[in-house]
A and B are shown apart, each in its own frame.
Chain A
Amino acid sequence: MDFNLSEEQTLIRDSIARFVSENYAFDQRNAVVAMEHGFSAEHWQQFAELGWLSIPFAEEHGGFGGGPVDTMVIMQEFGRGLVAEPYLATVMLFGGLLQAGASEQVRENYIPQIIAGELQGAFAYLERQSRYEMTDVVTRADKDGEQWVLNGEKTVVLNGGAADKFIVLARNAGEQSEEAGLTLFLVDASSTGVQRTVYRMTDGQEAATLSFKDVQVEAVIGAVGDGYALMTPIVDDARLAICANALGAMEALNEKTLEYCKTREQFGVAIGSFQALQHRMVDMFGACENVKSLLLRAVCAAQDDDVDARRSLLALKVMAGRAGRLIGGEAIQLHGGMGMTDELSIGFFVKRLMIINSLFGDADYHQQLFAALVNTPASSAAA
């Protein structure tokens, strides 16, 4: 049993922690979020120079060949600083899908550009009616001669404003919520017929609604009709990544709340001396440790391709959602009136946690998947 990071992983963690402490103080972050697209292009170049954008990619494309532990380390540290740069959208999702399914030529063209910080991407999978069922897709892909053409609309596309290219999930066959008949397409953002409406999320990141009218795609990613199977492991990697991000945010919230309770005085004493508040902070600490334990469990299981991997990942997503709600709510409450203001970072962390809960399905949704998995007779013996 070994929960230690390797030397390389420790170095990555320390270098991100240093970046966060030098560049992500409260006022600095506010300035970054106020920039065009809600992040700093300069920071993104710095990420490229430090090699962070290369970590999950295969060595043959100039990547570092990193695994789930590396992803965890990076995203957790980003979470502690509430880093705004679109690592999830461009590297994990867009880059992950390219690496998993694109033709060798497409990979050779674009993965080095991502690693160099020259290409922004986004994954457009959601639609108005789809809620958490990613298979619920009505955007159409039809063949016009040799050319695939898209028609439809995609919503809440993270990093959709800055993205140079999208990977779009569209239906070429099958009924509305069928797994089969879904295909992933690479689309250039400047293509004729693409219209994007850009807005901000509550945590400051940019998202977009994309509409497609007779849009000619640049390439098919993976096999036609096989898009759902192709995207599932990439979305699972992203689930792990956002839970690590949530853990970092929860750790930061707990530290800030603890610090506040030790210094804020009422009735002539520090409010942290009140037992009612102490027990609430112990519960916050416990919730955070639960997420950390399940994250380590899910990461180890993913790394070893263990039979327990799916169950651990679902449990983690449930716990991260619930713990995020608890810790976020308590952090605001224990900060009192100051917790309600934009003058402290507390609210921004809470907003990030709320978004992470709903991303790829909330805690309730994942708990239903978990129940279906563990309550079928074959798998219950593994409990």
Chain B
Amino acid sequence: MDTRLSEDDLAFQVEVRQFLAEAWDKELAATYGNIATMKEGAEEWQTRLYHKGWVAPHWPVEYGGTDWSVTQSFIYNSERAAVGAPEVLPFGVTMVASVIIAYGSDGQKEKFLPRILKSEDWWCQGYSEPGAGSDLASLKMRADLEGEEYVLNGSKIWTSYAQYANWIFCLVRTDSSGRKQEGITFLLIDMDSPGVTVRAINTIDGFHHLNEVFFDNVRVPVENRIGEEGKGWTYAKSLLVHERLNIAEVASSKCALTVVREEAREEINGGKSLLDDPIFAKRLTDIEIELMALEFTELRALAAISEGNPPGPESSLLKIQGTELQQAIQELRMDVAAYYSGTLQGELTPAGLGHGFADTAQKLYFRGRASSIYGGSNEVQKNITAKYVLGL
């Protein structure tokens, strides 16, 4: 039993810190943080990572991955989150690339993987439909084979950043006769195809990221199908497992909690720092204690993976507990901001508004409500844990 870092890992940690100090500067953080310039910011960040060779660490080396150990990935993620740098947007590098690498043809790998690495394509994910959310397999968007093309009709919803994307990967229905999990096919679709339209969905956080995407007789060549027709569900499921492991975001929550603590220290109520309020201190430390536990639950899962074993049953909790803690921190920060948590900064500066972080706090709070809904809602996660871990 030993959780200390080796000499090599400590050296790697130094290298990561040096890279981040140069590559994630204030200017880039500001560009990325503003919705008007977010796309440029993301592409610049990914380009800097690409030049370092770190944009897709989890890929096989032959396609541009890094061959990092599990510990190295953990170190990179912890250090990245500690400086507030974002994860690379997952839709291309993590989601569709994993499926292309595992199940795609040689032609698809040659065509798409280099463009993903260089941020030349922006991908979005077309899974959910208006009638298929947590019950994803009940999706209905049709793809009918006509000669060498599929003809698509239907719509996808909750599509993050579809307004920026030039490619979308979709689960579509090619057969309705059998079990609902069968007859689903995985397609790669050029967003510039005739018949594709994108509608923005305004959300409670005031930040345009969600969209509905409509497909009206969109023609997609068969060569853009991943693997076999009707196997899309199997391909997508392997990817969902990846999404769940990634979702705890312990390192980011640790960073966020430190920020809230320091903000609370400066908030004076009746001549006393908010940190000295016993009820506030209880809430803050409840979160910190659970986060300390979750950090080791994640390490336990990583240790298992690094030994070539599947992560233990405890990893099924990462999504539920990780998102509950993210939301608890966001909620606490709203309370630290007091009256200002209800203000919109708009064109004002923080000084003009009279408060430094309230605008950010309320945006993160409302955006954060989504984390217990996406990737399989937390209630669905509990059903899955009950069935597969507890055997109920």
Whether A associates with B in a native complex is yes
Contact between chains at B297 and A293 (CB < 8 Å): yes
Closest chain B residue, CB of each to CB of A288: B314
- Which of B285, B290, B293, B385 is close to A285, meaning CB atoms less than 8 Å apart? B385
Report whether B300 and A258 are in contact in the complex, using a CB–CB cutoff of 8 Å: no
Chain B: interface residue total (CB-CB under 8 A): 47
Q: Does B244 contact A (CB under 8 A)?
A: no
Q: A258-B390, A294-B292 are in contact. Are A69 and B1 (CB under 8 A)?
A: yes
Q: Which of B265, B281, B288, B383 contacts A278 (CB 8 A)?
A: B383
Partner of B285 from the list A258, A272, A374 (CB cut-off 8 Å) is: A374
Indicate if A327 sits at the interface (CB-CB under 8 A).
no
Within 8 A of A (CB), among B230-257: 254, 257
Q: Could you tell me which residues of chain B, from 302 to 330, have a CB within 8 Å of some CB in chain A?
A: 302-303, 306, 313-314, 317, 320-321
Chain A residue with the shortest CB-CB distance to B2: A2
Most chain A beta-carbon neighbours within 10 Å: one of B275, B281, B296, B382: B296
B37 interface residue, CB < 8 Å from A? no
Is the C-beta of A312 less than 8 angstroms from some C-beta in chain B?
A: yes
The number of inter-chain residue pairs (CB within 8 angstroms) is 135
Residues of A close to B338: CB separation below 8 A: none
| Contact (Cβ within 8 A) A381 B2 | no
Given the complex, which residues of B lie within 8 Å of A273, measured CB to CB?
A: 392
> Is the pair B303, A278 in contact by a Cβ cutoff of 8 Å?
no
A315 with B1: CB separation less than 8 A: no
Interface SS majority for chain B: helix
B196 within 8 A of A: no
Question: Within the assembled complex, what's the spacing in Å between the Cα atoms of A383 and B250?
Answer: 12
Quick one: CB contact mask for B360-390 with A, threshold 8 Å, 1 for yes?
0000000000000000000100110110011
- Could you say which residues of chain A place their CB within 8 Å of the CB of B295? 293, 297
When chains A and B are docked, how far (Å) is the Cα of A318 from the Cα of B282? 11
Task: Say yes or no: A1 contacts B306, CB within 8 Å.
Answer: yes
Chain A residues within 8 Å of B392, by CB: 258, 261-262, 272-273, 278, 281
B-chain residues with CB within 8 Å of residue A6 when the two chains form the complex: 1
List A contacts of B314 (CB < 8 A): 289, 292-293
Q: B382 contacts which of A5, A278, A381, A383 (Cβ < 8 Å)?
A: A278
- CB-nearest residue of chain B relative to A254? B390
- Of the listed stretches A134-142, A146-154, A299-307, A349-357, chain B binds A299-307
Question: Does A3 belong to the interface (CB within 8 Å)?
Answer: yes
Annotate B117-150 by CB proximity to A: 1 below 8 A, 0 otherwise.
0000000000000000000000000000000000
Q: Mark B90-104, 1 if CB is under 8 A from A, else 0.
A: 000000000000000
Q: What is the CA–CA distance of A34 and B198 in the complex, to the nearest angstrom?
A: 75
Q: Which of A342-383 contact B (CB under 8 A)?
A: 367, 370-371, 374-375, 377, 380-381, 383
A294 touches B293 (CB 8 A): yes
In the complex, chain A residues whose CB is within 8 Å of the CB of B391: 258, 262
B193 within 8 A of A: no
| Residues in B whose Cβ lies below 8 Å from that of A282 | 320, 382, 385-386, 390
In the bound assembly, the distance between CA atoms of A311 and B379 in angstroms comes to 32
**In contact, B258 and A296 (Cβ under 8 angstroms):** no
- Give the residues in chain A near B300, CB-CB below 8 Å: 3, 293, 296
Over the window 119-136 of chain A, the binary record of Cβ atoms lying under 8 Å from chain B Cβ atoms (1 yes, 0 no) is 000000000000000000
Question: Cβ of B303 and Cβ of A1 under 8 Å apart?
Answer: yes
Residue from B71, B290, B383 within 8 A of A1 (CB atoms): B71
In the complex, which residues 269-290 of chain A have their Cβ closer than 8 Å to any Cβ of chain B? 272-273, 275, 278-279, 281-282, 285-286, 289-290
User: Least Cβ distance of A65 to chain B in Å?
Assistant: 16
Q: Which of B1, B294, B321 is close to A2, meaning CB atoms less than 8 Å apart?
A: B1
In the complex, whether A93 has a CB less than 8 A from a CB of chain B is: no
Q: Determine the interface band of chain A, counting residues with CB < 8 A from chain B.
A: 35 or more
For residue A303, which residues in chain B have a CB less than 8 angstroms away from its CB?
1-2
- Name which of B3, B302, B313, B383 has the most chain A CB atoms within 10 A of its CB: B3
B297 neighbours in A (Cβ, 8 Å): 289-290, 293
* A319 contacts the other chain (CB 8 A): yes
**Which of B74, B265, B284, B290 lies in contact with A371, CB distance below 8 A?**
B284
The answer to whether B289 and A319 touch across the interface, beta carbons within 8 angstroms, is: yes
Scan B266-306; emit 1 where CB is below 8 A from any A CB, else 0. Answer: 00000000010000011011101110111111011011001
Contacts of A296 in B (CB 8 A): 1, 296, 300
Question: For residue B379, which residue of chain A has the nearest CB?
Answer: A279
In the complex the two chains form, what is the Cα distance from A354 to B103 in whole Å?
53
Which B residue sits closest to A296, measured CB to CB?
B296
Q: Is A4 engaged at the interface, CB distance under 8 Å to the other chain?
A: yes
Which of B70, B288, B320 has its CB near the most chain A CB atoms (within 10 A)?
B288
Cβ 8 A contact of A367, one of B282, B306, B386: B282
B289-A275 in contact (CB<8A): no
Chain B residues with CB below 8 A from A311, complex form: 292
Which residues of chain B have C-beta atoms less than 8 A from A374's C-beta? 261, 285, 288
Q: Are A300 and B293 in contact (CB under 8 A)?
A: no
Report how far A377 CA is from B273 CA in the complex, Å: 13
CB distance from B94 to the nearest CB of A (A): 23
Is B8 close to A, CB under 8 A?
A: no
Are the CB atoms of A380 and B261 closer together than 8 Å?
Answer: yes
Minimum Cβ distance to chain B for residue A110 (Å): 31
Question: For the complex, what is the distance from the CA of A258 to the CA of B390, rounded to whole Å?
Answer: 7
CB closest residue in chain B, given A373: B285
Q: Is the CB of A381 within 8 A of B258?
A: yes
A294 to B296, CA, bound (A): 7
A304 to B5, CA, bound (A): 12
Asked if residues B386 and A290 are in contact (CB atoms below 8 Å), the reply is: no
For A312, what are the chain B residues with a Cβ–Cβ distance below 8 Å? 292
Q: A360 to chain B: closest CB distance in Å?
A: 17
Complex: chain B residue closest to A367, CB-CB = B285
List residues 37-61 of chain B with CB under 8 A from any CB of chain A. Answer: none
B1 touches A380 (CB 8 A): no
Contact of B262 with A by CB under 8 A: yes
Interface CB pairs A-B, < 8 A, 22: A2-B1, A261-B392, A278-B390, A279-B379, A279-B382, A281-B392, A282-B386, A282-B390, A286-B317, A289-B314, A289-B317, A293-B296, A293-B300, A294-B289, A294-B296, A297-B296, A303-B2, A319-B290, A367-B286, A371-B284, A374-B261, A381-B258
| Chain A interface residues (CB < 8 Å from chain B) | 1-6, 69, 258, 261-262, 272-273, 275, 278-279, 281-282, 285-286, 289-294, 296-297, 299-300, 303-304, 311-312, 315, 318-319, 367, 370-371, 374-375, 377, 380-381, 383
Nearest 4 pairs of A and B residues by beta carbon: A293-B296, A278-B386, A290-B293, A1-B303
Q: A281-B392, A285-B390 are in contact. List 13 more A-B contacts (CB 8 A).
A: A1-B70, A275-B386, A278-B382, A285-B389, A289-B293, A292-B314, A315-B293, A367-B289, A370-B285, A371-B285, A375-B281, A377-B265, A383-B258
